[in-house]
């Protein structure tokens, strides 16, 4: 089912939305990395449901259990298994929809592919699957911070047409977390909250954009052809539930510029290394990091589950009207922020370890 990700730092997630548990197995994490379950729990708490009126009211503590791979507070270099039990699952809430294809959900496509589906929630297509991503992303974050000095921060850039202009070079996690909607620009944050509240009250939902920066990424990560760094970032972020678009650097806005306007001139920085005066490349050139901050944006559609009446069909081919019941996010963006950070961390950790393997090759003797 494509539940694995990464080449050296590899993860495999498991579990369904309303099953007994969800989790992840992480393989390839180097040994002797100091790791406490609280460091994993910190990011899971940012992802969990029931945080505020802007998220689904499902109440889950999402308490992480490390089953293997960590001993006396350090990683062993062996597979790390993490389990999170589902405590507030209500599969009976979906009984009335078990034969109905919900608009813009994966019900029809999953059944078309496998001939069977778990109709209790979204099954594997549910955002609850991302618990494993966020848990493993927390380990990747610790690795990047400890051994490479890399910091990853994401925030809500826009909700519908409300756009916040944030400086990626200086935004902090603390600033992001001060906002209910995880937008560190106070006036835009207030507007976003008001807009999401209004959509929730009328049984509707909204989409928007999450922006993310990775600071301290060294030059040289990524490959020049199929495994370009931005290609792997796009693959990672576009695998998140409800994602619909990816940009890096100038993105689509770059198509409105000329070459002389878009190019990033090089200068020698205070560290004696080449740096670019601008960063329209978004920290990646030719598929390889150039040492500047990596800046990406990911678009998320409005939540598919809404309580307004919608036209659809049943699995037997009959037309029907669906008024979805149950619990859902009126906007996925606040909870998507730690998911985006996790996937960026996983990609960077994997490429950092891959580059370490390249660096360890012996030098070619001079002729």
Domains of the chain: 4-358 (3.60.150.10)
pLDDT of residue 183: 97
Distance CA 294, CA 352 (A): 14
Report the pLDDT value the prediction gives residue 297, as an integer from 0 to 100. 98
Answer for the pair 77, 29: CB distance below 8 angstroms, yes or no: yes
pLDDT digits (tens, 9 = 90+) for 306-317: 888 889 888 888
Which pLDDT does position 126 carry in this prediction? Answer: 85
DSSP assignment of 333-364:
HHHHHHHHHHHHHHHHHHHHHHHHHHHTSPPP
Dihedral sign for Cα 281, 185, 58, 329, please. Answer: negative
The Cα 181–Cα 176 span in angstroms is 9
The CA-based dihedral angle spanning residues 35, 39, 41, 43, taken in that order and rounded to the nearest 10 degrees = -130
- Residue 202: Cβ-neighbour burial (10 angstroms; 0-12, 13-18, 19+): exposed
For residue 367, what pLDDT is reported?
Answer: 52
Q: What is the pLDDT of residue 177?
A: 95
Structure letter (DSSP) for residue 252: G
Predicted confidence at residue 221, as pLDDT, reads: 97
Run of H or E including 260: helix 259-262
Tell me the pTM: 0.93
pLDDT at 329: 83
Helix, strand, coil distribution of the chain in percent, nearest 5:
30, 25, 45
Residues belonging to the chain: 367
Q: pLDDT at position 91, please?
A: 61
Q: What is the pLDDT of residue 316?
A: 86
CA distance linking residue 107 with residue 310, whole number of Å: 15
CB 170 within 8 A of CB 295: no
Summary mean pLDDT of the chain? 91
Q: What is the pLDDT along the chain (367 residues), one digit of tens a residue?
A: 589 999 999 999 999 888 889 999 999 999 999 999 999 999 999 998 766 666 666 566 789 999 999 999 999 999 999 999 988 666 666 777 788 888 888 889 989 999 998 887 777 888 889 999 999 999 999 999 999 999 999 999 999 999 999 999 999 999 999 999 999 999 999 999 999 999 998 989 999 999 999 999 999 999 999 999 999 999 999 999 999 999 999 999 999 999 999 999 999 999 999 999 999 999 999 999 999 999 999 999 999 888 888 898 888 888 988 877 656 789 999 999 999 999 999 999 999 999 988 765 455 555 5
Answer whether 298's CB lies under 8 Å from 246's CB: yes
Return the C-alpha torsion angle 317, 319, 323, 329, nearest 10.
Answer: 50
Please give the helix or strand (H or E) that residue 295 lies within, else none: strand 294-300
d(CA 16, CA 225): 35
Say what angle helices 333-359 and 37-47 make with each other, to 10 degrees: 140
How far is residue 282's CA from residue 229's CA, in Å, rounded to a whole number? 11
Neighbouring-strand partners of residue 353: none
Q: If we measure between CA atoms, which residue out of 131, 49, 40 comes closest to residue 90?
A: 49
């Amino acid at each position: 089912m494509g539940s694995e990700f990464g080449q050296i730092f590899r993860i495999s997630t498991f579990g369904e939305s309303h099953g007994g548990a969800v989790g992840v197995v992480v393989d390839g994490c180097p040994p002797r990395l100091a790791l406490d379950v609280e460091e994993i729990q910190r990011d899971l708490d940012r992802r969990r449901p029931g945080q505020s009126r802007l998220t689904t009211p499902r109440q889950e503590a999402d308490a992480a259990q490390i089953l293997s791979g960590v001993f006396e507070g350090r990683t062993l270099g062996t597979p790390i298994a993490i389990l999170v039990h589902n405590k507030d699952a209500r599969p009976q809430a979906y009984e009335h929809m078990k034969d109905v294809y919900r608009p813009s959900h994966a019900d029809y496509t999953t059944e078309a592919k496998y001939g069977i589906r778990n109709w209790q929630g979204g099954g594997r297509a549910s955002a609850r699957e991302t618990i494993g991503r966020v848990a493993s992303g927390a380990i990747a974050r610790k690795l990047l911070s400890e051994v490479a000095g890399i910091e990853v921060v994401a925030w809500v850039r826009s909700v519908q047409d409300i756009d916040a202009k944030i400086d990626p070079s200086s935004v902090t996690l603390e600033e992001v977390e001060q906002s209910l909607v995880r937008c560190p620009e106070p006036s835009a944050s207030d507007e976003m909250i008001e807009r999401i509240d209004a959509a929730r009250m009328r049984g509707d939902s909204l989409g928007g954009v999450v922006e993310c920066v990775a600071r301290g990424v060294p030059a040289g990560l990524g490959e020049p052809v199929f495994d370009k760094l931005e290609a792997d970032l796009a693959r990672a972020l576009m695998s998140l539930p409800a994602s619909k678009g990816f940009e890096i650097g100038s993105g689509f806005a770059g198509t409105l510029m000329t070459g002389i306007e878009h190019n990033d001139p090089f200068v020698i920085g205070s560290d004696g290394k080449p740096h670019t005066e601008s960063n329209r490349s978004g920290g990646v050139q030719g598929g390889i990091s150039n040492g500047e901050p990596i800046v990406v944006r990911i678009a998320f559609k409005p939540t598919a589950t809404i309580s307004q009446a919608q036209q659809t069909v049943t699995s037997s081919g009959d037309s029907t009207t669906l008024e979805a019941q149950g619990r859902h996010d009126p906007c996925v963006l606040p909870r998507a922020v730690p998911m985006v950070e996790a996937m960026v961390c996983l990609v960077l950790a994997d490429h950092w370890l891959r580059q370490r393997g390249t660096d360890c090759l012996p030098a070619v003797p001079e002729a």
